[in-house]
Amino acid sequence: MLRRRVVITGMGCITPLGHSPGELWPALLEGRSGVAPLTLFDASRFPVRIAAEVKDWSPRNVGIDGRFLDNAPRQTQFALAAGLQAIRHAGLPSNRVSPRRLGVYLGVGEPFEDFTRFTASISDAARGGACADDAFLSSALRIFDPETEREYEPHRPATHLAGLVNAQGPVLNCIAACASSTQAIGEAARLIRRGEVDAMLAGGAHSTIHPFGVTGFHRLSALSTRNDDPRAAVRPFDADRDGFVIGEGGAVFVLEELEHARRRGAEILGEIAGYGSAQDAFRVTDSAPDGRGTVLAIRRALADAALNAEDIDYVNAHGTGTLLNDRIETIALKTTFGPAAGRVPISSTKSMLGHSTTACGAIELAVCLMTVRDAVVHPTINYATPDPQCDLDYVPNVARELDVRHVLSPSIGFGGQNAALVVSRFDESSRSAAAQRAA
| Active site amino acids | 178, 318, 355
Gap between the Cα atoms of 97 and 100, Å rounded: 9
Helix/strand/coil for 166? coil
Distances in Å between the alpha carbon of 393 and those of 179, 250, 379? 23, 28, 11
Residue-wise burial string across 410-420, b where 16 or more C-beta atoms lie within 10 A, e elsewhere: bbbbbbbbbbb
Q: Is 439 exposed, middle or buried (CB count within 10 Å of its CB: 0-12, 13-18, 19+)? A: exposed
Instruction: Please enumerate in sequence order all residues whose Cβ is within 8 A of that of 32, keeping only pairs 6 or more positions apart, or say none.
Output: 17, 352
- The CA-to-CA distance between both ends of the chain, in Å, stands at 7
Rg of the Cα atoms in the chain: 21
309 vs 344: CA distance, rounded Å:
10
DSSP 214-264: HHHHHHTT-B---TT-GGGS--TTBTT---B-BBEEEEEEEEEEHHHHHHT
8 Å CB contact between 3 and 80: no
Three-state DSSP class for 376? strand
For residues 301 and 274, the answer to whether their CB atoms sit within 8 Å is yes
- Phi-psi map region of 56: left, alpha, beta (phi>0 left; psi -120 to 50 alpha): left
Long-range contacts, 399-402 (Cβ 8 Å, 24+): 399/29, 399/30, 399/31, 400/345, 400/376, 401/375, 401/376, 401/377, 402/313, 402/314, 402/345, 402/375, 402/376, 402/377
The span from the CA of 260 to the CA of 101, in Å, is 11
Query: Any bridge partners for residue 36, and if so which?
Result: 51
Alpha helices in 103-210 (DSSP H): 115-127, 132-143, 146-151, 156-165, 180-193
Q: Are 405 and 167 in contact (CB under 8 A)?
A: no
Which of 365, 358, 280, 366 is closest to 324 using CA atoms? 280
Q: Facing residues of 11 across strands? A: 253
